[in-house]
């Protein structure tokens, strides 16, 4: 029987700058400081569960340190152990986006959202990927969803950041 357990995790993304290209134009720097402090991770009698949690922490640590290629490798290990871990897909997808590998990032973020549509960061990064791929309508939809979810979570600054990116996309 699988359940969910709350796992303390390092803050996702810390301070970072996202500068994707949108329709041959560069978005101004968008600073975001997400505040995810707890993540739901699959738990089962499987002893690999603890291994997956440790990999997830390691992946987000590498991500925070902007070591995206190594973070991707570590998130791959989580996905091997727990193929439906929404946070592993989020971390890997966001890493791909920041490496400007937008299609790979979008694919992973699609999976993260398919598993758990309540994660604002998944919508945010998929919005950035969609914008960079020229899918502005989809990008705006994703960023609007991210803004609503950030507001619901009390992350007003991140909600405003999402709205600012929407405005930039509309003016591009």
Q: How many CB atoms lie within 10 A of CB 25?
A: 11
Query: Which is more confident, 159 or 31?
Result: 159
> For residue 73, is it left (φ>0), alpha (ψ between -120 and 50) or beta?
alpha
Give me the chain's average pLDDT, please. 79
Residues found in the chain: 172
Q: Is the pLDDT of residue 164 over 50?
A: yes
Residue holding tokens 């803050």?
A: 11
d(CA 4, CA 6): 7
C-alpha distance from residue 90 to each of 7, 26, 46, 57 (Å): 16, 23, 23, 13
Class of domain 3-171: mainly alpha
What are 103-150's pLDDT values in tens digits? 999 999 999 999 999 999 999 999 999 999 999 999 999 999 999 999
* pLDDT value for 46: 62
Q: How far apart are the first and last CA of the chain?
A: 49
* pLDDT value for 172: 76
- Beta-bridge partners for 18: 30
What are 13-36's pLDDT values in tens digits? 322 333 334 432 333 344 333 433
């Amino acid at each position: 029987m699988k359940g969910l357990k709350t796992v303390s995790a390092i803050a996702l993304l810390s301070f970072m700058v996202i500068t994707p290209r949108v329709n041959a134009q560069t978005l101004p720097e968008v600073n975001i400081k997400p505040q995810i402090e707890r993540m739901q991770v699959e738990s089962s009698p499987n002893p690999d569960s603890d291994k997956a949690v440790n990999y997830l922490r390691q992946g987000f640590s590498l991500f925070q340190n902007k070591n995206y290629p190594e973070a991707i490798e570590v998130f791959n290990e989580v996905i091997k152990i727990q193929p439906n871990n929404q946070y592993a897909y989020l971390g890997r997808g966001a890493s791909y986006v920041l490496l400007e590998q937008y299609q790979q990032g979008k694919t992973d973020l699609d999976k993260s959202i398919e598993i758990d549509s309540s994660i604002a960061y998944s919508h945010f990064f998929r919005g950035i990927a969609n914008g960079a791929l020229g899918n502005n309508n989809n990008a705006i939809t994703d960023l609007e969803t991210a803004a609503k979810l950030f507001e619901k979570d009390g992350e007003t600054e991140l909600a405003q950041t999402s709205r600012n990116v929407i405005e930039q996309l509309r003016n591009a």
